């Protein structure tokens, strides 16, 4: 069963080099159980996380 994820939006407007830029941060709204599950996954498998995104920084 696929669960729909909703997001909380946080917008900030900043000036950079004389131009107005709107920054938007989206944070998933998760149940406490889902937060614990994701936290455990990250803590138990840090190599998987870094290897997944490591290619972006090379």
Residue 1 pLDDT exceeds 60: no
Range of the domain at 50: 30-57
Model confidence, pTM: 0.49
Does residue 4 sit within a domain?
Answer: no
| pLDDT at residue 24 in the model | 95
Is 17 within a domain?
Answer: no
User: In three state form, how does the secondary structure of the chain look?
Assistant: CCCCCEEEEEEEEEEECCEEEEEEEEEEECCHHHHHHHHHHHHHCHHHHHHHHHHHHC
pLDDT tens digits, one per residue of 9-57: 999 999 999 999 999 999 999 999 999 998 888 888 777 767 766 666 5
Query: What is the tally of structural domains in the chain?
Result: 1
Residue 35 lies in a domain: yes
9 domain residue, yes or no: no
Q: What was the pLDDT predicted at 48?
A: 72
């Amino acid at each position: 069963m696929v669960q729909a994820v909703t997001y909380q939006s946080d917008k900030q407007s900043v000036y950079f080099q004389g131009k107005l830029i709107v920054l938007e941060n989206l944070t998933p709204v998760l149940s406490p159980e889902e937060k614990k599950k994701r936290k455990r996954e990250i803590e138990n498998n840090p190599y998987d996380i870094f290897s997944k995104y490591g290619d972006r920084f090379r």
